[in-house]
Amino acid sequence: MKHYTRTQTLATMALVSFTLSAQPQLTADNVSEVIAAMTTEEKIDLLIGCGMAMGEEVKFPGTAGRTRDIPRLGIESAYLADGPHRLHMNRTRDWDSKTYITTELPSETNVAASFDMDAAYLLGQAIGAEVRDFGLDVLLAPGVNLMRSALCGRNNEYYSEDPVLAGKIAAGYINGIQSQGSGTCLKHFAINNQETNRNNNDSRLSQRALRELYLKNFEIAVKESNPWSIMTSYNRAQGLYTCENVDLTETILRDEWGWDGLVMSDWNAGKDAVASIKAGNDMLQPGQPRQREALLNAAKDGSLSMELIDRSVRRTLEFVLKCHTPNGYKYANETDLKGHAKLVRQLGAESMVLLKNEGAVLPLNKVNNIALYGCTSYDMVPAAMGFGGTNVGPYIVSFVEAVRNAGMKADMSLAKTYKQHIADENKKNYPEGRPVFSITAPLRAGEWVPTAEALTENVKNNDVAIITLGRTSGEGADRKREHFFLTDLEKSLIHTVAEAYHKAGKKVVVVLNVCGPIETAPIANEVDAILCAFEPGQECGNSVMDVLTGKVNPSGRLPMTWQVAFGDAPADHNFPADYEFDMSAFRRAFSGGSAKDAAERAQREAEKVEVKDVDYTLYEEDIYVGYRYFDTYQRPVSYPFGFGLSYTTFGYEIVSSAINGDECQLVVKVTNTGKTAGREVVQAYVKAPKGSIDKPAKELKAFGKTRELKPGESQTLALTWKTMDMASFNEKTSAWVLDKGVYQFMAAASSADVRATATRRVAKTRTEKVHNVMAPQQKIARIAMLKK
């Protein structure tokens, strides 16, 4: 053992304490100093997450992960948890007996259907408070990708087929969360519109579609709410992984849009860690040892410059500094569950879309006894499956319970039969127990059709029949063509029930508790009313009953076109609607894949075998997604974008319209012309003049929602947008071009129901040049159905 003299020991102690006190401790004022004090290893550590928070040793089990802490420099972790529908974390922890319950909110699709930025803000506020109350920092939400196809498995975690609606609702939600001091992570950036082969699929599209649709949603959200962070997506676009594409993250996002937050990868996305950091994708989540090694090697051999490393380190530190944890927030570990449940019930109801109401059968009148049909009536779908939601909120208010809450009676003999049928089906299909998170199965039990004998009895005992149809989906897999169409059993159920009740002079109502559009054409004429509930959250049954009984007048509008059949939309022809799902592709998302997966993939890559719609997807519909197609090409739909009935009627009058320099305005007076109080959504569409490129028949530029108007009452809404929002993207000049000419400003109740139009003239063409980046690597042909 080495012996030190007393003087030597004192000298060493002084040195140690000097070194310790010399360590800068991170504050907002000394970020540069802290970066200067960091070792290369520490910097690299900071750019890689700490793994998924799944084990028992973690602070918040069941959350998505955290950023690296470096105690020596006073750098704390930022704790990340999934949303958007629920703050995703385990209900229990091994080391205590407490339960950690968080609210299951309405799906993003519902929020968009409200067409109400204030509603989105309120929901954001609630979940933002939950994030803070449970000690977390950042919610990995919202998802804002466009609904390019009705079958994308994650559509219920997304808002709309329209970028303005999606961007603005996202902005409301983000502003709500960030008002609570909690952070957001806008995702999945970008052009991530299918789940099949989600880790490798290459989206190939025109620069016009990219700019006008698939980036526009993000651009609006970024500019109107400044999210703390953005998550790049799993897929490739124009050949490159989005997390490795400097044009996407630096040129467009930061340079053109002026945003300066933190970019993180999706969980285990991309391949090349060094390329990610070079691209300005600052953090790799949840982090893998191979990524750490690659970054360290590149830092050492100089192929990754310290300047770029420091750039991402700085962004990470600035992000962490905003969080609750480093600021020592003392969290309560409980939240206002009651208050949030009230909000969920209200917003769940307000976001429902009334698709049909023949003879004003709704709200239910003089009804006491209700016969509930359809397995979903007894097995409701509150939210998406996957990390964003997962059907494991505190509770789900069942339909039967809600009928009782409304002071009515549900036919319990039917309830008993259905429950038995569902249990039998589940046992047959899921002998190990039905999973809450399934990526392959639709999870609904096959339908049951009552016998003639049972039906006679039901009709005698009940005043009305309500049939609920359900569809679930979630991340990791797309829906298949067959999930869009009604099954024979579903059609037979509706036909049989409708015939029996109608014969007795009684009414039939269909409730759609679905993750996205399904076929309705074969049944629409057989029933009296159709209410689309989407996935309204934990108060499911109550929200539905509030609308059916008229406690809430429905004011939701479709955030997507409800097409007649799958195949009607041009994008359907470039979508993996029939692809047999390969489990290994999903596993790769989480583990980087088994050796067998990796070998298979490598072989396909070596042989350069590419499967259409799986390895790559051609966006041959270009900008003609949703109503931009159906409207322009005048094709029939079941229900148009923006459609939704009310229990009252509204009159529209354009008060004024103007183009004032950079701003446009359409002022609309809305009057409740019916007999029931209600809220109206006013949609402002613009038809641009024909210039050098083709234009869609109309495009949504703004929307507004009235307060609840009493019969006879009016409200004037001023809808505004930027003049350059009416420009189209010209690929030849890489510029936004606002053609001179006459613009039609339409005040509409849906994309197919224009109530009043004003015209305004743009005297001189205006252009705004942007970088000529992200061009497709191949020519993207136009799909045949786009030829007029």
Closer to ligand BGC by CB, 267 or 639: give it. Answer: 267
Choice from 44, 48, 70, 140 touching ligand BGC (CB under 6 A)? 140
Backbone phi and psi for residue 628, each to the nearest 5 degrees, phi listed first: -60, -30
Q: At 289, which helix (H) or strand (E)?
A: helix 289-301
Closer to ligand BGC by CB, 198 or 444: give it. Answer: 198
Task: Say which DSSP state 526 is in.
Answer: T
Closer to ligand BGC by CB, 154 or 471: give it. Answer: 154
In this structure, what token pair is assigned to residue 360? Answer: 């004003």
Closer to ligand BGC by CB, 83 or 450: give it. Answer: 83
643: contact with ligand BGC by CB under 6 A:
no
Strands (E), 411-492: 464-470
66: contact with ligand BGC by CB under 6 A:
no
- Min dist. Cβ of residue 387 to ligand BGC (A): 4
Closer to ligand BGC by CB, 55 or 71: give it. Answer: 55
241: contact with ligand BGC by CB under 6 A:
no
Cβ(217)–Cβ(598) under 8 Å?
no
Closer to ligand BGC by CB, 116 or 137: give it. Answer: 137
Kindly tell me the sign of the dihedral angle through the C-alpha atoms of 613, 618, 619, 621: negative
Q: At what angle do helices 306-322 and 289-301 cross, to 10 degrees?
A: 130
Closer to ligand BGC by CB, 82 or 572: give it. Answer: 82
Choice from 133, 266, 613, 680 touching ligand BGC (CB under 6 A)? 266
Bridge partners of residue 672, in order along the sequence: 650
- Min dist. Cβ of residue 381 to ligand BGC (A): 19
Closer to ligand BGC by CB, 187 or 216: give it. Answer: 187
Q: Taking the CB of residue 771, how many other CB atoms lie within 10 A of it?
A: 11
Considering only residues 366-405, where is the footprint of ligand BGC by CB under 6 A? 387
221 CB-near residues (< 8 Å, 6+ apart):
142, 144, 166, 167, 168, 170, 171, 174, 186, 227
- Min dist. Cβ of residue 207 to ligand BGC (A): 26
State the Cα–Cα distance between residues 736 and 211, nearest whole angstrom.
9
Considering only residues 584-603, where is the footprint of ligand BGC by CB under 6 A? 589
Task: Say which DSSP state 781 is in.
Answer: P
Per-position x/- string for 410-449, each x denoting binding to ligand BGC as judged by CB under 6 A, each - no binding:
----------------------------------------
Cβ(587)–Cβ(197) under 8 Å?
no
Closer to ligand BGC by CB, 270 or 640: give it. Answer: 270
State the Cα–Cα distance between residues 83 and 128, nearest whole angstrom.
10
CA angle 118, 124, 129 (to 5 degrees): 130
Considering only residues 553-582, where is the footprint of ligand BGC by CB under 6 A? none
Strands 464-470 and 409-410, bridge-based pairing: unpaired
Bridge partners of residue 264, in order along the sequence: 231, 283
64: contact with ligand BGC by CB under 6 A:
yes
- Min dist. Cβ of residue 82 to ligand BGC (A): 5
267: contact with ligand BGC by CB under 6 A:
yes
Evaluate the omega torsion of the peptide bond into residue 585 and state whether it is cis, within 30 degrees of 0.
no
- Min dist. Cβ of residue 621 to ligand BGC (A): 24
- Min dist. Cβ of residue 752 to ligand BGC (A): 33
Per-position x/- string for 11-30, each x denoting binding to ligand BGC as judged by CB under 6 A, each - no binding:
--------------------
Per-position x/- string for 166-185, each x denoting binding to ligand BGC as judged by CB under 6 A, each - no binding:
--------------------
Evaluate the omega torsion of the peptide bond into residue 442 and state whether it is cis, within 30 degrees of 0.
no
Closer to ligand BGC by CB, 84 or 570: give it. Answer: 84
CA angle 683, 158, 101 (to 5 degrees): 120
Cβ(167)–Cβ(494) under 8 Å?
no
In this structure, what token pair is assigned to residue 496? Answer: 């049989």
- Min dist. Cβ of residue 682 to ligand BGC (A): 33
Per-position x/- string for 99-118, each x denoting binding to ligand BGC as judged by CB under 6 A, each - no binding:
--------------------
Closer to ligand BGC by CB, 131 or 637: give it. Answer: 131
- Min dist. Cβ of residue 579 to ligand BGC (A): 19
- Min dist. Cβ of residue 319 to ligand BGC (A): 16
State the Cα–Cα distance between residues 353 and 558, nearest whole angstrom.
7
The Cα-based distances of 566 to 201, 571, 633 in angstroms read 22, 10, 17
Choice from 168, 187, 236, 315 touching ligand BGC (CB under 6 A)? 187
The Cα-based distances of 183 to 127, 257, 262, 312 in angstroms read 11, 20, 11, 18
- The amino acid at residue 473 is S
Q: What is the strand order of the sheet 236-237 is part of? A: 240-241, 236-237, 202-204, 616-618
- Min dist. Cβ of residue 585 to ligand BGC (A): 13
Cβ(559)–Cβ(159) under 8 Å?
yes
Choice from 82, 161, 219, 613 touching ligand BGC (CB under 6 A)? 82
- Min dist. Cβ of residue 12 to ligand BGC (A): 46
Bridge partners of residue 745, in order along the sequence: 686, 758
- The amino acid at residue 251 is T
Closer to ligand BGC by CB, 589 or 668: give it. Answer: 589
- Min dist. Cβ of residue 187 to ligand BGC (A): 5
Task: Say which DSSP state 210 is in.
Answer: I
- Min dist. Cβ of residue 86 to ligand BGC (A): 12
- Min dist. Cβ of residue 596 to ligand BGC (A): 21
Strands (E), 413-568: 464-470, 507-513, 529-532
Considering only residues 276-335, where is the footprint of ligand BGC by CB under 6 A? none
Closer to ligand BGC by CB, 89 or 552: give it. Answer: 89
Closer to ligand BGC by CB, 566 or 586: give it. Answer: 586
Choice from 162, 475, 572, 613 touching ligand BGC (CB under 6 A)? 475
- Min dist. Cβ of residue 589 to ligand BGC (A): 6
Closer to ligand BGC by CB, 149 or 184: give it. Answer: 184
Nearest to residue 380, comparing CAs of 523, 488, 486, 536? 536
Count of residues of this chain found to bind ligand BGC when the rule CB under 6 A is applied: 9
Q: At what angle do helices 412-429 and 452-461 cross, to 10 degrees?
A: 140
Q: Which residues bind ligand BGC (CB under 6 A)?
A: 64, 82, 140, 187, 266-267, 387, 475, 589
